[in-house]
């Protein structure tokens, strides 16, 4: 199939269903004829012979010359036949604007399938259906009906947008223009019957006129494709900024493990994106603000936002304190300024101000020299412990505000470090100074919280990863054999009673245990193991045993038979209550594990992304605390240690208030082994969890007490 060149650089466009009415239907023809597109435009509508001074044709087969792109603004019922006609006429690219396809249900899905078949048979590439088309500034092409295109084209800024929602895309287009950052390209992919977001964004990343591509996703679908897109951006020294909707718990596939409940559905997507330097954001404003900041990265050197250490310069002491508080909440430092910096600031800062960080210039500065604010920002930026300058302006208005905005714009152009501004005043008072700042490529935030969040996100993004070869991959594990692991697991749901051999293969220690199917077997197992004991319900239908009273600890060997009966009864009551699963008669009799710090080590896998490995403080309260760190599997020992250190509960492992440190290296070995096994099992794995993994005192190892593995059996 051909590429996407005809969508972006057509020499002739046919507009099928063309209209010259005011409003939505008339926009595509108006845009194509008024915005400076230099190619030929053919209106196609059998009810007219002329439209907006152009000859109008009955059908695409009646056009007098070759056409590269057809834009269909016709009802859904007519689209399939028209696409076939486009193929007959030699048109190889079609944009389908109509809705009424898969988004409306079964009948629409059938129609969309017919469209896909017709396009393939005709050799036609299709964007849509249910999309809002394309804008491409270098060719002044506006093949769209979005009202966001009103106003035409301005010199573009190297920003592009590709999204699955046309309405969100229209908002991005309009907001970018408001920020004085018009887009080089804009694509709405709609239902993606053929051209999808990954292909469209990949095409734009290869465009020399594009530095940063913004993406809006509602459905990921193609995990490997998303990773390939992020990797391509790294290879081309471009940046991706991604807003993903639908990442909440609603609609998520049911998970059985604590890990699955604690790891947000978008985690694999976010980790893959970050691996290759893409930035994942939470809303439309952040999408634009981040893209604008990344666009100017080349002038800032390799460190970009560094470690996110903020030098605060403010016209109000209170506002500076607020920004400092928000920086602390975001994990950003507000360092002390060096002696030399404070000495340089002293002559510029009024008597009642402060040369500490935050630097408070007070309103008095503007009574004597409103050009001094930029000089102060420049001095703060030169401090070796500052990575980014956060300027907070309060009620500076009128001509002074305009002069301050111009001063900050020229200052930012000189700085070797980024500068971002929060201006705390009404839109009426700040409209003009904000326009000056945005025209200079500066972000302007309406709150100090938004400013701090932006700095944190950009500091996390860091410098662009070193470009790699297209075939470079993360080193794969070689320690385990997929077939052997699946054979040891043996079934779709495996608990610790069935998973002993699996743990042994991974090299993970576990308590001695025996399975009992009646009270006599429980008593015999207890006598063999000796006390104290843990007795647990063992059934694939009871995965959270403590929730149903299915666990007893510190059981004496002599009581094992009685406790067996109590556990079976508790499991039976739970099964009856939820009307699921059969009677439970199997109990695991297990030697009590030595005391230690309880961890959770788990894996979730979905959407074709690499498995997500998660570690945290474990036990029955794991979900309550939610103290976890995640990474893509596999990880090496250094990464595993770093994950443990990120936990709020790390002091429990390192030795807290005189308590002995735990065997961190033994826990690290388990984390690495679980990650490697997950990477080997890959698409066969749904989830895997050891909870708890008990880390004993240093040198005494770590022991897996409970296990859950869910696989996909074909």
Does residue 470 register a pLDDT over 90? no
Give the rounded percent of residues in the chain with a pLDDT score beyond 70.
91
Closest among 689, 674, 533 to 598, alpha carbons compared: 689
Mean local confidence (pLDDT), 602-607: 84
For position 466, what pLDDT does the model report?
53
Does residue 634 register a pLDDT over 70? yes
Give the rounded percent of residues in the chain with a pLDDT score beyond 90.
66
Distance CA 416, CA 406 (A): 18
Closest among 187, 95, 198, 97 to 135, alpha carbons compared: 187
Name 624's Cβ contacts closer than 8 Å, sequence gap at least 6: none
Is CATH 3.30.1490.20 correct for 512-591? yes
Mean local confidence (pLDDT), 39-44: 98
Mean local confidence (pLDDT), 583-599: 89
Cis peptide before 358 (omega within 30 of 0): yes
Does residue 4 register a pLDDT over 90? yes
For position 75, what pLDDT does the model report?
96
Closest among 509, 507, 503 to 489, alpha carbons compared: 503
More confident residue, 429 or 117: 117
- pLDDT tens-digit profile of 269-290? 888 888 888 999 989 999 999 9
Mean local confidence (pLDDT), 541-545: 77
Closest among 337, 343, 292 to 312, alpha carbons compared: 337
Does residue 137 register a pLDDT over 50? yes
With cut-offs at 50, 70 and 90, classify the pLDDT of residue 103.
very high
Element (H, E) at 569: helix 560-578
Q: What does the mean pLDDT of the chain come to?
A: 88
- pLDDT tens-digit profile of 288-306? 999 998 886 544 444 478 8
Name 578's Cβ contacts closer than 8 Å, sequence gap at least 6: none
Residue in this structure with the two tokens 């002696």, named with its chain if needed: 339
For position 504, what pLDDT does the model report?
95
For position 581, what pLDDT does the model report?
52
For position 251, what pLDDT does the model report?
38
For position 372, what pLDDT does the model report?
86
H helical segments located in 96-196: 106-122, 166-178
Q: Which CATH superfamily is domain 597-711 in?
A: ATP-grasp fold, B domain (3.30.470.20)
- pLDDT tens-digit profile of 313-352? 999 899 999 999 999 999 999 999 999 999 999 999 888 8
For position 464, what pLDDT does the model report?
54
Token readout for 340 is 């030399």
Q: Where are the domains of the chain?
A: 5-295, 303-461, 512-591, 597-711
**Same fold yes or no, 5-295 and 303-461:** yes
For position 255, what pLDDT does the model report?
46
Element (H, E) at 345: helix 339-345
- pLDDT tens-digit profile of 210-256? 999 999 998 777 778 888 999 999 899 899 999 988 655 543 444 44
Half-sphere exposure of 498 (CA within 13 A, CB side): 19
For position 469, what pLDDT does the model report?
42
- pLDDT tens-digit profile of 22-34? 888 899 999 999 9
With cut-offs at 50, 70 and 90, classify the pLDDT of residue 472.
very low
Fold adopted by 5-295? Rossmann fold (3.40.50)
pTM: 0.83
For position 296, what pLDDT does the model report?
63
Element (H, E) at 244: strand 239-244
Domain spanning 303-461, CATH class: alpha beta
**Mapped to the 3 state alphabet, what secondary structure does 404-444 carry?**
HHHHHHHHHHHCCCCEEEEECCCHHHHHHHHHHHHHCCCCE
Distance CA 167, CA 100 (A): 16
Does residue 158 register a pLDDT over 60? yes
- pLDDT tens-digit profile of 446-463? 999 999 999 998 888 765
More confident residue, 41 or 256: 41
User: Read out DSSP for 481-538?
Assistant: -HHHHHHHH-SSEEETTT-HHHHHHHT-B---EEEESSHHHHHHHHHHH-SSEEEEE-
What is the SS3 assignment for 18? coil
**What are phi and psi for residue 324, nearest 5 degrees?**
-60, -45
What is the SS3 assignment for 114? helix
Does residue 582 register a pLDDT over 90? no
For position 473, what pLDDT does the model report?
47
- pLDDT tens-digit profile of 378-406? 999 999 999 999 999 998 888 889 999 99
Mean local confidence (pLDDT), 521-531: 93
Token readout for 68 is 């590269």
Maximum CA extent, the chain: 99
Distance CA 74, CA 70 (A): 12
Q: Write the DSSP symbol of residue 58.
A: S
With cut-offs at 50, 70 and 90, classify the pLDDT of residue 712.
confident
Does residue 555 register a pLDDT over 50? yes
- pLDDT tens-digit profile of 658-670? 788 999 999 999 9
With cut-offs at 50, 70 and 90, classify the pLDDT of residue 465.
low
């Amino acid at each position: 199939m051909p590429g996407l060149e005809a969508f972006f650089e057509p020499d002739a466009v046919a507009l099928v269903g063309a209209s010259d009415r005011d409003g939505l239907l008339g926009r595509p023809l108006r845009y194509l004829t008024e915005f400076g597109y230099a190619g030929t435009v053919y209106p196609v509508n059998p009810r007219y012979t002329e439209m907006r001074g152009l000859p109008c044709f009955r059908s695409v087969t009646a056009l007098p010359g070759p056409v590269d792109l057809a834009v269909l603004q016709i009802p859904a019922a007519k689209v399939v036949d028209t696409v076939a006609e486009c193929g007959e006429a030699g048109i190889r690219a079609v944009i389908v604007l109509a809705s009424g396809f898969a988004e409306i249900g079964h009948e629409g899905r059938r129609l969309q399938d017919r469209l896909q078949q017709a396009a393939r048979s005709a050799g036609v590439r299709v964007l849509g259906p249910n999309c809002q088309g394309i804008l491409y500034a270098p060719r002044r092409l506006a093949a769209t009906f979005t009202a966001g295109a009103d106003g035409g084209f301005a010199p573009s800024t190297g920003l592009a947008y590709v999204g699955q929602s046309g309405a969100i895309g229209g908002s991005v287009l309009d907001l970018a223009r408001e920020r004085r950052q018009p887009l080089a390209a804009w694509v709405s992919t709609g239902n993606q019957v053929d051209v999808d977001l990954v292909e469209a964004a990949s095409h734009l990343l290869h465009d020399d006129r594009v530095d940063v591509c913004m993406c809006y996703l509602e459905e990921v679908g193609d995990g490997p494709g998303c990773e390939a897109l992020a990797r391509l951006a790294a290879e081309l020294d471009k940046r991706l900024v991604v807003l993903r909707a639908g990442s909440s718990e609603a609609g998520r596939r049911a998970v059985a493990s604590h890990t699955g409940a604690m790891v947000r559905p978008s985690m694999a997507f976010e980790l893959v994106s970050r691996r290759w330097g893409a930035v994942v954001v939470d809303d439309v404003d952040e999408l634009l603000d981040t893209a604008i900041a990344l666009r100017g990265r080349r002038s800032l050197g390799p460190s970009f936002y560094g470690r996110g250490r903020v030098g605060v310069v403010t016209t109000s002491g209170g506002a500076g304190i607020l920004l400092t508080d928000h920086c602390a909440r975001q994990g950003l430092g507000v360092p002390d300024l060096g002696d030399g910096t404070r000495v340089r600031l002293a002559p510029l800062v009024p008597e009642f101000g402060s040369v500490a960080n935050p630097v408070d210039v007070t309103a008095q500065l503007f009574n004597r020299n409103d050009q001094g604010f930029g000089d102060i920002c420049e001095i703060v930026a030169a401090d070796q412990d500052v990575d980014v300058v956060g300027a907070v302006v309060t009620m500076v208005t009128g001509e002074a505000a305009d002069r301050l905005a111009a001063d900050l714009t020229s200052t930012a152009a000189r700085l070797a470090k980024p500068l971002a501004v929060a201006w705390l005043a009404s839109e009426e008072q700040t409209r003009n100074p904000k326009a000056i700042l945005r025209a200079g490529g500066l972000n302007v935030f309406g709150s100090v919280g938004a400013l701090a969040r932006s700095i944190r996100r950009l500091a996390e993004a860091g410098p662009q990863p070193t470009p790699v070869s297209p075939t470079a991959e993360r080193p794969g594990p070689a320690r385990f054999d997929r077939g052997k692991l699946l054979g040891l697991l043996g079934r779709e749901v495996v608990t610790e009673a069935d998973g002993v051999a699996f743990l042994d293969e991974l090299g993970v220690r576990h308590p001695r245990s025996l399975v009992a199917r009646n009270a006599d077997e429980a008593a015999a197992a207890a006598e063999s193991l000796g006390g104290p004991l843990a007795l647990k319900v063992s059934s694939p239908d009871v995965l959270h045993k403590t929730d149903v009273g299915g666990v007893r600890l510190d059981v004496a060997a002599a009581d094992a038979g009685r406790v067996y009966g109590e556990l079976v009864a508790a499991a039976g009551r739970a099964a009856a209550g939820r009307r699921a699963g059969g009677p439970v008669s199997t109990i695991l009799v297990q030697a009590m594990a030595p005391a230690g710090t309880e961890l959770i080590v788990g894996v979730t896998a979905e959407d074709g992304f690499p498995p997500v490995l998660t570690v945290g403080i474990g036990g029955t309260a794991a979900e309550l605390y939610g103290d976890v760190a995640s990474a893509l599997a596999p990880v090496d020992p250094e990464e595993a240690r770093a994950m443990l250190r990120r936990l709020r509960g790390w002091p429990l492992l390192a030795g807290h208030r005189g308590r002995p440190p735990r065997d961190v290296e033994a826990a690290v070995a388990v984390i690495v082994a679980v990650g490697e096994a997950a990477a080997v099992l890959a698409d066969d794995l749904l989830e895997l969890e050891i909870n708890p993994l008990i880390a004993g005192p240093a040198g005494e190892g770590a022991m897996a007490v409970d296990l859950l593995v869910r696989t996909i059996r074909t």
